[in-house]
Structure 1
Amino acid sequence: MTQAHELHFRWNHAEDVAPAAAFAGRVIGAASSYISHGEIQTGLSDDGRSWVSNLERLYLEDFSDRGNRDLLVAHDAAGEVCGLLMLAWEASSRRRFAVIEDMAVDPSQRSQGIGKRMIDLAETRIRERGVEWVFLESGRDNEGAHHFFERAGFKRQSAVFARKL
């Protein structure tokens, strides 16, 4: 069992990109319940029900070219990736805001404080930039994640509808 004090978290390290992409491909790619409209919009899912076959490669591209995004990676005591969070910085003509684009914790290490610690670190980073709002989306059937985010203080704000033509 991993304890929070045995974890190491770091933002935007180039050496984390490939291991984080492999982690995302393995952990996120194992659960179709993770898929939301964002995965369709970004080409990670073609149908909203299954992942594309080159998911790890696409995560590698995304994590390598972060643009206006920050990648937080959690490492366990053995130095292995056990969690990640991708934070995007967005702005409209009226408001600046942050979006948690991706977040995952190794299933064998859930309920040990890793996700909570990543949310806390992201919120600190967001506040340091003077941003007041953070958004995220979660797959319709990803109830475990929904409960986690609600316990972390997030509220359901809307429903998203989509139609493939």
Structure 2
Amino acid sequence: MSVGQELLDVPLPEMVASLGQGIADAQHQLDMNSVEVAKTLAETEIEVVPAITRTINADGSVDYDSADAIDVSLLQAGMFPTFYQFSEATIEVEMDIKTTTSTETQVDVSASGKVGFGLWSARIDTDVSHNRKFGKEVHGTSRLVTKMQPVPEPPYLFPEVETVDNRPSGDGETEA
């Protein structure tokens, strides 16, 4: 089967459907990878010093005091997984066909004869050869291009932090 025929035998709807299914499968794998990274970041803890106080004393000396270190997950520390989506897909099929035909004909003629008194005879030999050549070159290429881009993480992956201050205010009431 020729390359050209193989390219022509693939129906365009089938090619597009295969591309779409391939992208869907790849997108699923990308999403599952991001979920696994999020789980790993949530489960991995590091020790963090949440605050350092620098005090400049009246004599110009500087003192440092730090809060007690706490353990936080990498997600709490601000490391987030990257999510991607496919933004574009292109199928290109190119085919070049070159056909050549050449014909070659060769004729050889030779003559011989005798001449005598009142008699003449001749013999002519003819040798004809005919050669015809056909040539065909087919070159086909196909190319699939996809583009991915990072997208923001899902909005509900990271909860909002709300601070409630229940310390008593100066008037004996608590602030909410």
TM-score higher than 0.5 here?
no
TM-score calculated relative to the size of structure 1: 0.20
Higher relative contact order (CA 8 A, sep 6+): 1
Which is strand-richer, 1 or 2? 2
Which is helix-richer, 1 or 2? 1
Which of structures 1 and 2 has the bigger CA Rg? Answer: 2
